Amino acid sequence: MDRGQSPFNHFDGERFIYPWRKRTSRGRFAFWRWKFSGQRAEWPEKLEPSRFDEPPERVDGQDLRLSNVGHATFLIQIGGLNILTDPFWSERASPLRWAGPKRVVEPGIRFSDLPPIDTALVSHNHYDHMDLPTLHHLHDQHGSRIVSPLGNAVLIGGKSRRIPVDELDWGQSLALSENVRVHCEPAQHWSRRRMKDRNRALWCAYVIEGPAGRVYFAGDTGYGEGEHFRHSGQRFGGFRVALLPIGAYAPRWMMEFSHMNPEEAVLAHHDLQAETSIAMHHATIQLTDEPIHEPVERLTEARETHGLSSHDFRILGIGEVASFKS
Protein backbone atom coordinates (compact mmCIF):
# COMPACT_ATOMS: atom_id res chain seq x y z
CA MET A 1 0.00 0.00 0.00
CA ASP A 2 1.25 3.44 -0.94
CA ARG A 3 1.04 5.49 2.26
CA GLY A 4 2.77 8.65 1.07
CA GLN A 5 1.48 11.98 2.33
CA SER A 6 -1.61 13.19 0.48
CA PRO A 7 -1.03 16.34 -1.60
CA PHE A 8 -4.52 17.67 -0.80
CA ASN A 9 -5.40 20.09 1.98
CA HIS A 10 -8.72 18.36 2.67
CA PHE A 11 -8.80 17.86 6.46
CA ASP A 12 -9.14 20.70 8.97
CA GLY A 13 -8.22 18.65 12.04
CA GLU A 14 -11.79 17.54 12.73
CA ARG A 15 -13.61 17.14 9.43
CA PHE A 16 -12.84 16.47 5.79
CA ILE A 17 -13.46 19.23 3.24
CA TYR A 18 -13.44 19.69 -0.51
CA PRO A 19 -10.28 21.79 -0.97
CA TRP A 20 -11.21 23.56 -4.21
CA ARG A 21 -14.44 25.06 -2.93
CA LYS A 22 -15.46 26.46 0.45
CA ARG A 23 -19.23 26.02 0.21
CA THR A 24 -20.40 22.46 0.75
CA SER A 25 -23.81 20.82 0.79
CA ARG A 26 -26.70 22.70 2.36
CA GLY A 27 -27.80 22.17 5.95
CA ARG A 28 -30.77 20.64 7.72
CA PHE A 29 -33.14 23.60 7.22
CA ALA A 30 -32.58 23.47 3.46
CA PHE A 31 -33.25 19.72 3.50
CA TRP A 32 -36.71 20.15 5.04
CA ARG A 33 -37.46 23.14 2.79
CA TRP A 34 -36.77 20.88 -0.18
CA LYS A 35 -38.75 17.93 1.21
CA PHE A 36 -41.88 20.05 1.66
CA SER A 37 -41.57 21.97 -1.62
CA GLY A 38 -43.94 19.60 -3.45
CA GLN A 39 -41.94 19.42 -6.70
CA ARG A 40 -41.14 15.69 -6.62
CA ALA A 41 -41.88 13.77 -9.83
CA GLU A 42 -43.83 10.53 -9.55
CA TRP A 43 -41.81 7.40 -10.29
CA PRO A 44 -43.26 3.97 -11.08
CA GLU A 45 -43.38 1.55 -8.18
CA LYS A 46 -41.66 -1.25 -10.08
CA LEU A 47 -39.81 -1.72 -13.36
CA GLU A 48 -38.10 -4.76 -14.79
CA PRO A 49 -34.35 -4.68 -15.48
CA SER A 50 -33.30 -4.84 -19.11
CA ARG A 51 -31.96 -8.31 -18.39
CA PHE A 52 -30.29 -10.36 -15.68
CA ASP A 53 -26.63 -10.71 -16.46
CA GLU A 54 -24.90 -14.03 -15.78
CA PRO A 55 -21.24 -13.00 -15.84
CA PRO A 56 -18.33 -15.34 -16.55
CA GLU A 57 -16.18 -16.45 -13.65
CA ARG A 58 -13.17 -14.40 -14.78
CA VAL A 59 -12.02 -12.10 -17.58
CA ASP A 60 -8.30 -12.29 -18.27
CA GLY A 61 -5.67 -10.59 -20.39
CA GLN A 62 -6.42 -7.18 -21.85
CA ASP A 63 -10.17 -7.74 -22.09
CA LEU A 64 -12.51 -5.70 -19.89
CA ARG A 65 -16.14 -6.40 -18.96
CA LEU A 66 -18.46 -4.06 -17.05
CA SER A 67 -21.98 -5.02 -15.97
CA ASN A 68 -24.54 -2.45 -14.81
CA VAL A 69 -26.07 -3.83 -11.62
CA GLY A 70 -27.93 -0.58 -10.93
CA HIS A 71 -27.42 2.83 -9.29
CA ALA A 72 -23.64 3.08 -8.64
CA THR A 73 -23.05 -0.68 -8.59
CA PHE A 74 -21.00 -2.13 -11.44
CA LEU A 75 -19.24 -5.47 -11.70
CA ILE A 76 -15.84 -4.72 -13.22
CA GLN A 77 -13.97 -7.76 -14.52
CA ILE A 78 -10.37 -6.84 -15.22
CA GLY A 79 -7.02 -8.63 -15.08
CA GLY A 80 -8.57 -11.83 -13.70
CA LEU A 81 -10.20 -9.95 -10.79
CA ASN A 82 -13.88 -9.33 -10.04
CA ILE A 83 -14.51 -5.92 -8.48
CA LEU A 84 -17.81 -4.42 -7.33
CA THR A 85 -18.29 -0.67 -6.99
CA ASP A 86 -20.54 0.54 -4.16
CA PRO A 87 -22.34 -2.83 -3.96
CA PHE A 88 -26.06 -2.31 -3.26
CA TRP A 89 -28.51 -5.25 -3.27
CA SER A 90 -30.83 -4.14 -0.46
CA GLU A 91 -34.44 -3.14 -1.08
CA ARG A 92 -34.01 0.29 0.51
CA ALA A 93 -31.21 2.83 0.84
CA SER A 94 -32.07 3.54 4.45
CA PRO A 95 -31.27 2.60 8.04
CA LEU A 96 -34.89 1.36 8.24
CA ARG A 97 -36.35 -1.68 6.49
CA TRP A 98 -39.83 -0.14 6.28
CA ALA A 99 -39.05 3.44 5.17
CA GLY A 100 -36.63 5.37 2.98
CA PRO A 101 -35.76 5.37 -0.73
CA LYS A 102 -36.92 2.06 -2.21
CA ARG A 103 -35.46 0.20 -5.14
CA VAL A 104 -37.59 0.50 -8.28
CA VAL A 105 -35.57 -1.96 -10.38
CA GLU A 106 -34.07 -5.22 -9.17
CA PRO A 107 -30.29 -5.63 -9.35
CA GLY A 108 -29.10 -6.54 -12.82
CA ILE A 109 -27.21 -9.53 -11.44
CA ARG A 110 -28.87 -11.87 -8.96
CA PHE A 111 -26.65 -12.17 -5.90
CA SER A 112 -26.53 -15.94 -6.38
CA ASP A 113 -25.21 -15.42 -9.94
CA LEU A 114 -22.23 -13.34 -8.89
CA PRO A 115 -18.81 -14.76 -9.70
CA PRO A 116 -16.26 -14.85 -6.86
CA ILE A 117 -15.96 -11.23 -5.75
CA ASP A 118 -12.38 -10.34 -4.92
CA THR A 119 -12.84 -6.69 -3.96
CA ALA A 120 -15.65 -4.30 -3.04
CA LEU A 121 -14.90 -0.59 -3.46
CA VAL A 122 -16.94 1.76 -1.25
CA SER A 123 -16.84 5.44 -2.22
CA HIS A 124 -18.47 6.95 0.91
CA ASN A 125 -20.87 6.23 3.74
CA HIS A 126 -24.29 7.30 2.41
CA TYR A 127 -26.82 4.47 2.49
CA ASP A 128 -27.17 4.17 -1.28
CA HIS A 129 -23.40 3.61 -1.58
CA MET A 130 -22.39 1.92 1.66
CA ASP A 131 -24.96 -0.88 1.93
CA LEU A 132 -23.82 -2.75 5.02
CA PRO A 133 -26.01 -5.88 4.62
CA THR A 134 -24.61 -6.39 1.11
CA LEU A 135 -21.02 -5.79 2.24
CA HIS A 136 -21.44 -8.28 5.07
CA HIS A 137 -22.90 -10.89 2.69
CA LEU A 138 -19.97 -10.38 0.33
CA HIS A 139 -17.50 -10.83 3.17
CA ASP A 140 -19.26 -13.91 4.54
CA GLN A 141 -19.92 -15.66 1.20
CA HIS A 142 -16.99 -14.51 -0.94
CA GLY A 143 -14.35 -13.37 1.52
CA SER A 144 -14.28 -10.11 -0.44
CA ARG A 145 -11.63 -7.54 0.31
CA ILE A 146 -13.27 -4.21 1.18
CA VAL A 147 -11.64 -0.89 0.31
CA SER A 148 -12.94 2.49 1.51
CA PRO A 149 -11.73 6.05 2.04
CA LEU A 150 -10.52 7.10 5.49
CA GLY A 151 -12.80 6.85 8.51
CA ASN A 152 -15.21 4.20 7.26
CA ALA A 153 -13.67 0.98 8.61
CA VAL A 154 -15.48 1.26 11.95
CA LEU A 155 -18.84 1.52 10.15
CA ILE A 156 -18.19 -1.41 7.82
CA GLY A 157 -16.38 -3.70 10.24
CA GLY A 158 -18.42 -2.99 13.33
CA LYS A 159 -17.44 -3.83 16.88
CA SER A 160 -18.53 -7.46 16.74
CA ARG A 161 -18.06 -8.54 13.11
CA ARG A 162 -14.42 -7.37 12.85
CA ILE A 163 -14.44 -7.24 9.06
CA PRO A 164 -11.05 -6.00 7.81
CA VAL A 165 -11.15 -2.86 5.66
CA ASP A 166 -8.34 -1.23 3.70
CA GLU A 167 -8.69 2.55 4.15
CA LEU A 168 -7.15 4.99 1.66
CA ASP A 169 -6.62 8.72 1.56
CA TRP A 170 -6.81 10.74 -1.64
CA GLY A 171 -3.64 10.17 -3.62
CA GLN A 172 -2.94 6.75 -2.10
CA SER A 173 -3.09 3.41 -3.86
CA LEU A 174 -3.33 -0.30 -3.12
CA ALA A 175 -2.26 -3.41 -5.03
CA LEU A 176 -5.19 -5.79 -5.49
CA SER A 177 -3.10 -8.36 -7.34
CA GLU A 178 0.21 -8.55 -9.19
CA ASN A 179 -1.23 -6.66 -12.16
CA VAL A 180 -4.24 -4.70 -10.82
CA ARG A 181 -4.02 -1.62 -8.63
CA VAL A 182 -6.65 0.74 -7.21
CA HIS A 183 -6.06 4.46 -6.63
CA CYS A 184 -8.10 6.71 -4.32
CA GLU A 185 -8.95 10.02 -6.02
CA PRO A 186 -10.71 13.26 -4.95
CA ALA A 187 -14.42 13.91 -5.46
CA GLN A 188 -16.76 16.80 -4.63
CA HIS A 189 -19.13 15.36 -2.08
CA TRP A 190 -19.66 14.95 1.68
CA SER A 191 -20.39 12.25 4.24
CA ARG A 192 -22.79 11.51 7.06
CA ARG A 193 -24.09 8.28 8.51
CA ARG A 194 -25.35 9.44 11.90
CA MET A 195 -26.63 12.68 13.40
CA LYS A 196 -23.27 14.05 14.57
CA ASP A 197 -20.68 12.54 12.22
CA ARG A 198 -20.96 14.90 9.25
CA ASN A 199 -17.75 14.85 7.15
CA ARG A 200 -15.83 12.88 9.78
CA ALA A 201 -15.24 10.17 7.17
CA LEU A 202 -13.78 10.75 3.72
CA TRP A 203 -15.42 10.21 0.32
CA CYS A 204 -13.64 9.49 -2.96
CA ALA A 205 -13.53 8.37 -6.57
CA TYR A 206 -11.45 5.35 -7.62
CA VAL A 207 -9.17 4.48 -10.49
CA ILE A 208 -8.73 0.78 -11.25
CA GLU A 209 -5.56 0.17 -13.24
CA GLY A 210 -4.81 -3.15 -14.89
CA PRO A 211 -3.70 -4.87 -18.10
CA ALA A 212 -6.93 -3.78 -19.81
CA GLY A 213 -6.22 -0.12 -19.07
CA ARG A 214 -7.61 2.34 -16.53
CA VAL A 215 -11.23 2.54 -15.32
CA TYR A 216 -12.43 5.65 -13.46
CA PHE A 217 -15.32 5.24 -11.01
CA ALA A 218 -16.65 8.63 -9.88
CA GLY A 219 -18.60 7.41 -6.87
CA ASP A 220 -20.93 10.27 -5.90
CA THR A 221 -19.84 13.76 -6.91
CA GLY A 222 -20.81 17.22 -7.97
CA TYR A 223 -19.02 18.93 -10.83
CA GLY A 224 -18.11 22.33 -9.35
CA GLU A 225 -15.54 23.79 -11.73
CA GLY A 226 -14.29 20.33 -12.67
CA GLU A 227 -11.04 20.63 -10.72
CA HIS A 228 -11.04 17.07 -9.36
CA PHE A 229 -11.82 15.58 -12.77
CA ARG A 230 -9.04 17.53 -14.46
CA HIS A 231 -6.65 16.51 -11.69
CA SER A 232 -7.33 12.80 -12.28
CA GLY A 233 -7.33 13.16 -16.06
CA GLN A 234 -3.94 14.86 -15.98
CA ARG A 235 -2.48 12.52 -13.37
CA PHE A 236 -3.34 9.35 -15.29
CA GLY A 237 -3.29 10.65 -18.84
CA GLY A 238 -6.85 9.59 -19.62
CA PHE A 239 -9.01 6.51 -19.13
CA ARG A 240 -10.27 3.63 -21.20
CA VAL A 241 -13.62 3.85 -19.40
CA ALA A 242 -15.16 6.35 -16.96
CA LEU A 243 -18.27 5.54 -14.90
CA LEU A 244 -20.03 8.85 -14.35
CA PRO A 245 -23.23 9.74 -12.41
CA ILE A 246 -25.99 11.54 -14.32
CA GLY A 247 -28.94 11.48 -11.87
CA ALA A 248 -30.16 12.79 -8.49
CA TYR A 249 -29.61 16.43 -9.48
CA ALA A 250 -32.96 18.20 -8.88
CA PRO A 251 -33.70 20.72 -7.52
CA ARG A 252 -30.45 22.29 -8.59
CA TRP A 253 -30.30 24.79 -5.70
CA MET A 254 -30.20 21.83 -3.31
CA MET A 255 -28.18 19.24 -5.25
CA GLU A 256 -25.65 21.30 -7.21
CA PHE A 257 -22.74 20.67 -4.83
CA SER A 258 -23.40 16.95 -4.33
CA HIS A 259 -24.55 15.58 -7.70
CA MET A 260 -23.79 16.27 -11.35
CA ASN A 261 -26.49 16.75 -13.94
CA PRO A 262 -26.12 15.09 -17.38
CA GLU A 263 -24.64 18.20 -19.01
CA GLU A 264 -21.93 18.34 -16.34
CA ALA A 265 -21.24 14.62 -16.78
CA VAL A 266 -20.35 15.34 -20.41
CA LEU A 267 -17.93 18.03 -19.23
CA ALA A 268 -16.41 15.51 -16.81
CA HIS A 269 -16.00 13.04 -19.70
CA HIS A 270 -13.84 15.61 -21.48
CA ASP A 271 -11.94 16.64 -18.32
CA LEU A 272 -11.01 13.01 -17.65
CA GLN A 273 -9.87 12.45 -21.24
CA ALA A 274 -12.01 9.30 -21.27
CA GLU A 275 -12.23 7.18 -24.41
CA THR A 276 -15.67 5.94 -23.35
CA SER A 277 -17.91 6.98 -20.47
CA ILE A 278 -20.85 5.01 -19.08
CA ALA A 279 -23.78 6.61 -17.25
CA MET A 280 -24.68 5.51 -13.73
CA HIS A 281 -26.54 6.70 -10.61
CA HIS A 282 -29.99 7.00 -12.21
CA ALA A 283 -33.26 5.10 -12.72
CA THR A 284 -32.82 2.73 -9.75
CA ILE A 285 -33.96 4.49 -6.57
CA GLN A 286 -35.65 7.87 -6.33
CA LEU A 287 -33.46 10.18 -4.28
CA THR A 288 -34.44 13.56 -5.76
CA ASP A 289 -37.12 15.34 -7.77
CA GLU A 290 -36.42 14.69 -11.47
CA PRO A 291 -38.56 12.20 -13.47
CA ILE A 292 -37.06 8.73 -13.84
CA HIS A 293 -36.30 9.02 -17.58
CA GLU A 294 -35.13 12.66 -17.62
CA PRO A 295 -31.40 12.03 -16.96
CA VAL A 296 -31.11 9.77 -20.02
CA GLU A 297 -33.06 12.23 -22.20
CA ARG A 298 -30.85 15.13 -21.12
CA LEU A 299 -27.67 13.10 -21.57
CA THR A 300 -28.73 12.22 -25.11
CA GLU A 301 -29.20 15.93 -25.89
CA ALA A 302 -25.89 16.87 -24.22
CA ARG A 303 -24.03 14.27 -26.27
CA GLU A 304 -25.40 15.75 -29.46
CA THR A 305 -24.50 19.28 -28.35
CA HIS A 306 -20.89 18.24 -27.71
CA GLY A 307 -20.56 16.05 -30.79
CA LEU A 308 -20.35 12.77 -28.85
CA SER A 309 -21.69 9.47 -30.15
CA SER A 310 -23.62 6.83 -28.24
CA HIS A 311 -20.35 4.88 -28.10
CA ASP A 312 -18.43 7.83 -26.60
CA PHE A 313 -20.89 8.13 -23.68
CA ARG A 314 -22.89 4.94 -23.31
CA ILE A 315 -26.23 4.40 -21.60
CA LEU A 316 -26.66 0.84 -20.34
CA GLY A 317 -29.91 -0.58 -19.07
CA ILE A 318 -29.76 -2.36 -15.74
CA GLY A 319 -28.32 -5.80 -16.37
CA GLU A 320 -26.65 -4.74 -19.63
CA VAL A 321 -22.95 -5.21 -20.27
CA ALA A 322 -20.15 -3.24 -21.92
CA SER A 323 -17.28 -5.41 -23.18
CA PHE A 324 -13.96 -4.09 -24.40
CA LYS A 325 -11.70 -6.48 -26.29
CA SER A 326 -7.93 -6.24 -26.64
Give pLDDT tens digits for 86-140.
999 999 999 998 999 999 999 999 999 999 999 999 999 999 999 999 999 999 9
Q: 20-56 b/e with 16+ CB inside 10 Å = b?
A: beeebbbeeeeeeebeeeeeeeebeeeeebeeebebe
Counting as low any pLDDT under 70, the low residues of the chain are 1-6, 22-28, 31-32, 38, 159-161
Neighbours of 61 (CB within 10 A): 12
Q: Which helix (H) or strand (E) holds 274?
A: strand 274-280
Q: What is the pTM of this model?
A: 0.96
Residue spans of the domains in the chain: they are: 40-324
Q: What is the pLDDT of residue 326?
A: 83
Among 153, 208, 214, 207, CA closest to 185: 207
Partnered with residue 324 across adjacent β-strands are 64
Distance CA 294, CA 224 (A): 21
Alpha helices in 50-207 (DSSP H): 132-142, 153-157
* Spatial contact of 83 and 176, defined as CB atoms under 8 Å apart: yes
In the beta sheet, which residues pair with residue 168?
Answer: 149
Phi and psi of 185, rounded to 5°?
-120, 160
Pairing of strands 313-314, 274-280: parallel
Q: Measured between alpha carbons, how far is 154 from 148 in angstroms, rounded to an integer?
A: 11
Cα gap 63→80, rounded to integer Å: 9
CATH: 3.40.50.300, 3.60.15.10, 1.10.3720.10, 3.40.50.2300. Which one for 40-324?
Answer: 3.60.15.10
Cα 38 to the center of its chain, rounded Å: 28
Cis peptide before 251, with omega less than 30 degrees from 0?
A: yes
Distance of CA 239 to the CA centre of its chain: 16
Among candidate residues 303, 250, 307, the one with its CA nearest the CA of residue 279: 303
pLDDT at 38 (0 to 100): 66
